[in-house]
Homo-oligomer: A and B are copies of this chain.
Amino acid sequence: MDQPDLATQMAELGARATAAAAVLAQTSGAQRAAAVSAMAAALRAAAPAILTANDADMARAADLSSALRDRLKLTPERLEGVAKGLDEIAALPDPLGTVLEEWQQPNGLQFQKVRVPLGVIGIIYESRPNVTADAGALCVKSGNAVILRGGSDSFASSGAILTALRAGLKQAGLPEDAVQAVPTPDRAAVGVLLTMTETLDVVIPRGGKSLIARVAAESRVPVLKHLDGNCHTYIHAAADLEKARKLVLNAKLRRTGVCGATESLLFDAETVPTLAAPVLKDLLDAGCEVRGDAALQALDARILPATEEDWGTEYLEAIVSAKVVHGVGEAVAHINRYGSHHTEAIVTEDAAAAETFLNGIDSAIVLHNASTQFADGGEFGFGAEIGISTGKLHVRGPVGAQHLTSIKYLVRGNGTVRAG
């Protein structure tokens, strides 16, 4: 047990992050963009070292599932993709310094509301080495210092990437300690991180349900939640059949493992034979498992029975639940009750029904005649994202560099005192 040592190490890490954040807060957008470009260049230069470290991680990870091993694996091509991502982050508009609002009060006081960095951000993620680079670059771009804690399986790969990022920062003349990682793969480090309320302005968990549940339950630091995406597509009675077929196939099967994948379909009762039948046949023929209510099961022997639990489940696989509803009101009520407030779509040619759905659904993203797989910061034009926030505080929906900011008010007077 080196618990006391860990606490001391974490406190020192925090103090260095705070000092780096104070320097970053005073940098120009050009300086931060140049630093992210230098981080990309350093990543390319360090490719051999990073790939060697990744080989070591992969050797230790022989027992992991092939999906987890794939997530962990770096290749020269994947690493170049990560570096390109950093180039794109460098090229984003500066999220800071903007005057968001400006006004004058009758007493002559001039008010400005300006964007400032959050300060120090903690990011806790699984064994995806690319997140080390993405998250580090997004934080530097937005003027924040970051403390990273990646999954233990990627400890060597992430460490090698971190070394490159810090070399890039140093070369650009910014403090290396703008990007740090916890010093040990030990899970105890996460526990300490979640209590560092004096250091961390926010902690962002990025990963599966159990990780996020642990962070939400334990953290004393404010959390930006990225919960599951139990996304719905509702095929309204006035849907165009061809659009519905195309949209459902894309929303469910384009990629089944992303948080914007549709997990549940709703069909209006009156159009079960004309809309539900062909849409579900497409899915079944494409190898997707369908779990339906009684009315839909009657359509095809391949449709399995859905249970109450299915309505609340994010499968992240080629499985979909399907249910009959009676109109847009019932669809909205079902989604607001069972959904995860992430992303939902309606397919319809009826503009009034679409507006009722868009207004009634309480989710971060609500689409009309478009695939739920558009739930992605890049598709929104935000550049790289940390994830999709399903919380309603601070930021909802895709979280990009522009959302890792706060504001302050600058007030200018001329010896102005308050009366009364």
Residues of A within 8 A of B (CB): 22, 25-26, 103, 105, 109, 111, 116, 118-119, 197, 201-202, 216-217, 220, 222-224, 240, 242-243, 246-247, 249-251, 254, 336, 354, 358-360, 362-371, 373-374, 376, 379-381, 391-394, 396-397, 406-418, 420
Contact = CB atoms under 8 A, between A and B. Distances in A.
Contact of A411 (B365, B392, B406, B409): B365
A264 to B, nearest CB: 18
Contacts of A370: 109, 411-413, 415-417
A117 to B, nearest CB: 9
Contacts of A416: 369-371, 374
A186 to B, nearest CB: 25
Contacts of A407: 396-397
A208 to B, nearest CB: 19
11 contacts: A22-B362, A103-B381, A202-B393, A222-B223, A363-B408, A364-B409, A366-B410, A367-B411, A369-B412, A396-B406, A396-B407
Contacts of A119: 362, 392
Given A366-B408, A368-B413, A26 B247 contact: no
Given A105-B379, A379-B105, A25 B417 contact: no
Residues of A contacting B: mostly: mixed
Given A201-B393, A370-B411, A418 B379 contact: yes
Contacts of A251: 417
B392 A118 contact: yes
Nearest 9 CB-CB pairings of A with B: A370-B413, A243-B415, A250-B417, A392-B406, A394-B394, A373-B418, A370-B416, A367-B411, A393-B394
B374 A418 contact: yes
Nearest to A411: B367
A412 B366 CA distance: 9
Contact of A26 (B359, B408, B417, B418): B359
B393 A408 contact: no
A167 to B, nearest CB: 28
Given A366-B408, A366-B410, A379-B105, A242 B393 contact: no
Contact of A393 (B406, B411, B417): B406
A30 to B, nearest CB: 16
Contacts of A116: 362
A119 B243 CA distance: 34
Given A26-B359, A393-B394, A371 B406 contact: no
A63 to B, nearest CB: 32
B247 A409 contact: no
A195 to B, nearest CB: 11
